[in-house]
Amino acid sequence: MVELETGGFENLICSYVITGKHPILVESGPTSSVPRLLAGLHELDIPFEDVQYVAVTHVHLDHAGGAGTLIKSLPNAEVIVHPRGAPHLIDPERLWASSQSVLGFISEIFGKPEPVPKERLIPMTEGTFNLWDGAKLDVRETVGHASHNLSFYESFNGGIFPGDAAGTYLQAFDVIVPTTPPPFHLDAALASLDKLINLNPTVLYFSHFGKATDAIQRLRDHKVQLQLWADIAIDGVRKNQSLEQIRDRIITGDKVMNSIIGFVRSHRIYSKTMLENCVLGFIEYAKTIDK
Ligand SMILES: [Zn+2]
């Protein structure tokens, strides 16, 4: 794991390196932390020309915004991405504009993405890459958080890199919180979690943030948590409640959220993403099912 220290924030975003004859990076991270990621590779004694793939879970700025900048320094690397995400890596202008309007100051912390040349992309939804000694990296489509989220399963440790398909892991509290900005699709997210559970994983490597054990139990608990937030949002929308009212009901109703609320409120980024964008994702979803 390479801690990217994006914008000076610790425990926010990380990349992973699967070492071996042809190292694979999981997540480029945002543009602003590419120098930190390259320094991490250097510290791990991985020559830049050895890196074969940069596997990005989805094209949001915090996961893949730096891909174009990164591969300028990795001459032999190709970028694995979902076909629906590929156009945004080739031409990131629209993604940058929408990120600025949704994320505001946070998009500036991540930095503007540079394009990835089309010939260096490997668009795929499902597939397998052979690593070493029979170890494999499986690609699985796990949509919900985004319509183009991929998860990667490595058979060596039985570990999954879910991107944002399994929530945000707050290591200091050992809890998971939904990451569900609009457009969020609950049914797809639950089906994706089932898909991950069926891989029988032992560990989860969160991009936000770090390694968690007891993978299957955590994935099951996260399904229950998503359904709880959805039930509150659906009821709140029916009662014409505001985002603030629905958010407060979630904080009261979800014991995980309740236990970390002081930390979340005081966090410059999480106070916006978890308490505004993620709640809004459920509200927009609730509005679609009430029609
Ligand atoms: Zn993310």
pLDDT above 90 for 131: no
Cα-to-centroid distance, 29 and ligand 1 (Å): 9
Q: How far is the CA of 134 from the centre of ligand 1 (A)?
A: 31
Share of the chain above pLDDT 90, in %: 93
What spacing in Å lies between the alpha carbon of 140 and ligand 1's midpoint?
Answer: 17
d(CA 64, ligand 1 centre) in Å: 9
Q: Please name the residue that has the structure tokens 């591969």.
A: 71
Residue 118 Cα to ligand 1 midpoint, Å, equals 23
For residue 270, how far is its CA from the centre of ligand 1 (angstroms)?
11
In DSSP notation, 125-192 reads: SSEEEE-STT-EEEEEE--SSSTT-EEEEETTTTEEE-TTTT-EEETTTTEEE---PSS--HHHHHHH
| pLDDT of the residue at 123 | 97
Is pTM beyond 0.85? Reply is yes
How many Å lie between the centroid of ligand 1 and the Cα of residue 218?
18
- Ligand 1 center to 273 CA (angstroms): 10
For the residues of 70-130, what is the DSSP string, one character each?
Answer: HHTT-TT-EEEE-TTTHHHHHSTHHHHHHHHHHHTHHHHHH-PPPPPPGGGEEE-SSEEEE
| pLDDT tens figures, 64-101 | 999 999 999 999 999 999 999 999 999 999 999 999 99
